[in-house]
Structure 1
Amino acid sequence: MARRTKAEAAATREALLDAAEEVFLEKGVARTSLEQIARHAGMTRGAVYWHFKNKADLFQAMLCRVRMPFQELIAEIAEPSLMERPLEAIRLAIQNGFERLEQPRHRRVHAILVHHCEVFGDIDPLAMQNEMANEACGALTDHFTCAARLGQLREDLSPENAAELMQALLGGLFHDWLRNHERFSIAIKGSELVALQLELMRRP
């Protein structure tokens, strides 16, 4: 019985997060109340407070469902040979991330973060975006440093500059695609551009 109760509680929590995604996307984060989320999920406001301290806590939980730390994207590839091919590891990890972005939930939540969220209480979307960008840039720098050590990165390009160039490309692609995700496939077009960028960075 306890196991069933735990499973039901987890299902309730997920249903509330699903409802939050839909209402945030429609109304914006600042204009959405916890009561509206509860009503959209067919529950009471008390159910929301049972699982989340406040709207900021709920918002963070929603983001956690789509977080894609760069190291995790690389770990999922599970190819030991990539340790000697860091540029290929970067390419495959980014491709993995692009493919996830095209999943409806990932697209919705990132659209909320970028286009439907203002600074509100403990919610600071710019700080959250900066945190994710800094994490990705740090991981990219580590892999470009490895590529330089193995003689695979252009001699006139530092690992730090390589990471910043790639981060700029990813940021531009991400924001262009979010504005109109039907215009192009980020998994296809993005992967092509990233592969081209990495080839330009490779030592001849």
Structure 2
Amino acid sequence: MARKTKAEAEATREALLDAAEAVFYAKGVARTSLEEIARQAGMTRGALYWHFKNKGDLFTALLDRVRLPFQELVEEVGTESHGDSPLEAIRLACHKGFVRLARPRYQRVYSILVHRCEFFGDIDPIAMQNSMVDESCGALEEYFQCAAARGQLREDITPALAAQLLQAALGGLFHDWLRNPEEFSIEARGGELVDTLLRLLKGA
């Protein structure tokens, strides 16, 4: 059999991830077998094992497709948009993140992580969520430190506390939205929440 090209191999991998997303969302992670995912993708288990070591490896790859590293969001909005204002950089990056989260794939995969994933084998959903929160909070604190150095942050609020306040607000919004994504627009409510909180944190 002819060896697959790099593009064909990548297409196969993406098809398997699409299948995993669909079956995990419908049944949950623990109740889904790798055979079901391969069948959903119209492939063999051998094809799946060629790309992924096990279910944990597959699930991690699924999350990697929708990760929202804060620094990447800042870079996407561009320095022209926020100039020398770290608080504006935070605001625009959060808005960019809300736009991403509103996409069906992002909503489905994060719903799987939060509501359809149990401790199973080498899959630890709490550790995965904690890692994302720590990464986000650490990046936010760096930007709040820059804001404080420029006199843009309230003097009675430390950068660490500002980061924790924003992270807690975002986490609450995120979990409320995932429980019922049709109840409100995360772009509209999230934008209002972030804009309001940053105004309260802004220095005189």
Q: TM-score, normalised by structure 2?
A: 0.96
Report the Cα offset of residue 201 of structure 1.
Answer: 0.4
Amino acid at match of 1:100: R
Residues 59-104 of structure 1: per-residue CA shift (max 9 Å, x gap): 0110000011000000111124635200000000011111100001
Rounded to whole Å, the distance in 1 between the matches of 2:130 and 2:112 is 15
Structure 1 gaps, min length 5: none
Match of 2:94 in 1: 94
Report the Cα offset of residue 186 of structure 1.
Answer: 0.5
Match of 1:153 in 2: 153
Report the Cα offset of residue 8 of structure 1.
Answer: 1.2
Match of 1:127 in 2: 127
Q: TM-score, normalised by structure 1?
A: 0.96
Listed as ranges, the matches of 1:26-175 within 5 Å are 26-80=26-80, 82=82, 84-175=84-175
Amino acid at match of 2:185: S
Amino acid at match of 1:88: E
Residues 120-162 of structure 1: per-residue CA shift (max 9 Å, x gap): 1110000000000000000000000110000010011110100
Rounded to whole Å, the distance in 1 between the matches of 2:47 and 2:92 is 41
Amino acid at match of 1:188: A
Amino acid at match of 1:75: E
Amino acid at match of 2:62: M
Match of 1:199 in 2: 199
Percent identity, aligned pairs only, is: 67
Rounded to whole Å, the distance in 2 between the matches of 1:59 and 1:19 is 11
Question: What root-mean-square deviation, in Å, do the aligned CA atoms of Structure 1 and Structure 2 show?
Answer: 1.4
- In terms of mean alpha carbon deviation, does 5-14 or 120-129 score higher? 5-14
Report the Cα offset of residue 9 of structure 1.
Answer: 1.1
Amino acid at match of 1:113: L
Structure 2 gaps, min length 5: none
Amino acid at match of 1:41: A
Amino acid at match of 1:30: A
Aligned residues: 203
Runs (4 or more) in structure 1 with deviation over 4 Å come to: none
Amino acid at match of 1:29: V
